[in-house]
Chain A
Amino acid sequence: MSSISIPNRRNAAARPPPVPSSGVSFVLPALLLILAVFILPVVMLLLRSVTEPDPGLQNYRELFESATVARVFVNTFVVSGLVTAIALLIGFPIAWLLVILPKRWADLLFGIVILSMWTNLLARTYAWMVLLQRTGIINKTLMGLGLIDTPLPLVNNLVGVTIGMTYIMLPFIVLPLVTTMRAIEPDLLRAAALCGAGRWEAFRRVLLPLSLPGIAAGGLLTFVMSLGYFVTPSLLGGAGNMMAAELIAQLVQSLLNWGLGGATAFALLVLTLALYAVQLRLLQRGRSQRGG
């Protein structure tokens, strides 16, 4: 399990060994591949936003004037925020369990968390559809138990999207949190207890603040990934909550309006990069605080 987990925080904080110059050529093929098959096409699509159908910024004017685009972006941020918050609430205890459980049980739990990442995304999303639909297992069980009379609307709406995406994002919250929590000295919690702190007090004043870097890293990772999510929202979402990636897909695939599609993609990219910059700042601050 340690072979998979992210490097320990203390190691990461230490100065990395100097890179031997010959190492560059090892990275070069990967860099070139990324440049050729990823960065270049993205740049070309973005260029279309200022060249199609005519050169100029009319696509961006349309983008900013469109109430639809605004609504779709707001919806994207709301869903991403919701998913991040719920994934944190569920992921935090899981991460803590992974840290404190005996190795055998921790490995098992870790396997369960990781296993979900190894299953095909589409299969997992369809699985949720089977579980959540009107005649699905959850509704049938609840109705069988007499708890509800009519099926709960669990899918094709915001509820479905949130459940599906939270589940998919969980590992991305848990992994950074585990790394952070591993580095917390168990003695600190013992010391808190000795000083008379109850469980809640110890959690609030010791464990939570010390876990903050992991919360920030995992939270932002999840949020940023959620912003661009396509498969799950389009399959589990309803008519009223289109997300940005779906809008872009519709513009590019169905309407062939690559200019506006490129502009929308660029707007999403800028917002994502801005959040990434925030993440870097947060991480740096966390590091320098520890150093000082």
Chain B
Amino acid sequence: MRALQSIGVIGAILGALTLSGTPAHAKDMVFTSWGGTTQDAQKQSWAVPFSKQSGVTVLQDGPTDYGKLKAMVESGKPAWTVVDVENDFAVKAGKDGLLEPLDFSIIDKSTLDPRFVTPYSVGSFYYSFVLGFNKDQFGKKTPKSWADLFDLKTFPGKRTLYKWSAPGVLELALLADGVAPNALYPLDLDRAFKKLDTIKSSIVWWSGGAQSQQLLVSGEAPIGMFWNGRIDAIRKSGVDVGVSWEQNLAAADALVVPKGVADKDTAMRFIAFASSAQAQADFARASGYAPINLGSKALMKPEEAAALPDSHSQGQITLDMAYWAEHRDAVAKRWYEWQGK
């Protein structure tokens, strides 16, 4: 009998555990992103005004974790209502059946940058990978191009690159090796890895934005590739770090809805709000990332817009999400094999 009681207690605990992730009220939703300064800006520019307008409480969670997302969808009751993911993942996850198709009768597609719209996702914001460097470390010499990132003689020291298999690192290796921007795709993986081999022992990986900032500012890695918004945030904090926009690599984050969310309608309305011209302009102002709504720039002051990636469109290269969606798994396998070598 006592044993039965304890089973009951366990059952109650487990029930509470599984429920604790999902919103308590029908009028709640959970927005999940990558944390740090970026998610703060998303909260202020999207979630707070959306709550005011709709009465829906937007709870924040993070960081985004694709493994968690998949597990939630498989459990049938995802706790996350809207998730900020990388664009190549959005395309793959849509194909793998992990996402709800978006309702474009609620979300106004016509105002959005068509580069970052798919049936399962719209852009969240777009960013560029730029070359950043610590000005104290190289004296009068100023790195400019991706080739300089691979020049250990002129610019000695560790370099920090994005850790995960994702659009960016392979492209910049090929550009540094002299491949023309219009001949990047399909990626020559052998050539890219061979180029990366030349600096491999000097690479320090960053797996999150805050870590990249720490590595750069401390001088642990005086040069590397960074999300432009993170460089922007360092500069706003008063530390003078160098940046080169030459051949900056543009990619987007995407907003997606995990398959099986309880309140699809709220999810769609949140995305419609977050991708609107005003919300995108507010976010761009706060984060230094570019809006994906084509009407946002008109709402910003010229000097605010100057810090954004789209004022550096000269020489900008848009990473090819169609290629990545197609080859994500194959590239990933090569990637971690090379990393572990």
* A71 touching B165, Cβ below 8 Å: no
* B164 touching A254, Cβ below 8 Å: yes
Rounded to whole angstroms, the CA-CA distance of A37 and B341 in the bound complex is 35
Is B340 an interface residue, CB under 8 A from the partner? yes
A29 touches which one: B10, B68, B164, B336 (CB < 8 A)?
B10
**Do A28 and B336 contact each other (CB < 8 Å), given the known contacts A37-B17, A254-B165, A256-B70?**
no
Is B52 an interface residue, CB under 8 A from the partner? no
Binds A, one of B202-210, B223-231, B273-281: B202-210
* B200 touching A28, Cβ below 8 Å: no
| Cβ contacts B1-26/A at 8 Å (1 or 0 each) | 01100110110011001000000000
* B17 touching A240, Cβ below 8 Å: no
Q: Is the interface of A mostly helix, strand, loop or mixed?
A: helix
B3 touches which one: A25, A68, A136, A251 (CB < 8 A)?
A25
**Do A156 and B65 contact each other (CB < 8 Å), given the known contacts A25-B3, A32-B10, A255-B336?**
no
Q: Which residues of A contact B219 (CB under 8 A)?
A: 134-135
* A240 touching B336, Cβ below 8 Å: no
Q: Which residues of B contact A66 (CB under 8 A)?
A: 337
Is A49 an interface residue, CB under 8 A from the partner? no
* B341 touching A71, Cβ below 8 Å: yes
Q: Which residues of B contact A72 (CB under 8 A)?
A: 340
Task: Report the minimum CB–CB distance from A220 to chain B (whole Å).
Answer: 26
Q: Which residue of B lies closest to A261 (CB)?
A: B67
Rounded to whole angstroms, the CA-CA distance of A136 and B158 in the bound complex is 15
Q: Is the interface of B mostly helix, strand, loop or mixed?
A: helix
Q: Which residue of A lies closest to B202 (CB)?
A: A239
Q: Which residues of A contact B10 (CB under 8 A)?
A: 29, 32-33, 36
**Do A255 and B332 contact each other (CB < 8 Å), given the known contacts A37-B14, A240-B201?**
yes
Is B53 an interface residue, CB under 8 A from the partner? no
Identify the interface centre among B2, B6, B13: most chain A CB within 10 Å of its CB. Answer: B6
Is B182 an interface residue, CB under 8 A from the partner? no
Rounded to whole angstroms, the CA-CA distance of A22 and B341 in the bound complex is 55
3 closest cross-chain pairs (CB), A and B = A253-B67, A68-B340, A29-B6
Q: Which residues of A contact B333 (CB under 8 A)?
A: 255
Is A59 an interface residue, CB under 8 A from the partner? no
* A238 touching B204, Cβ below 8 Å: yes
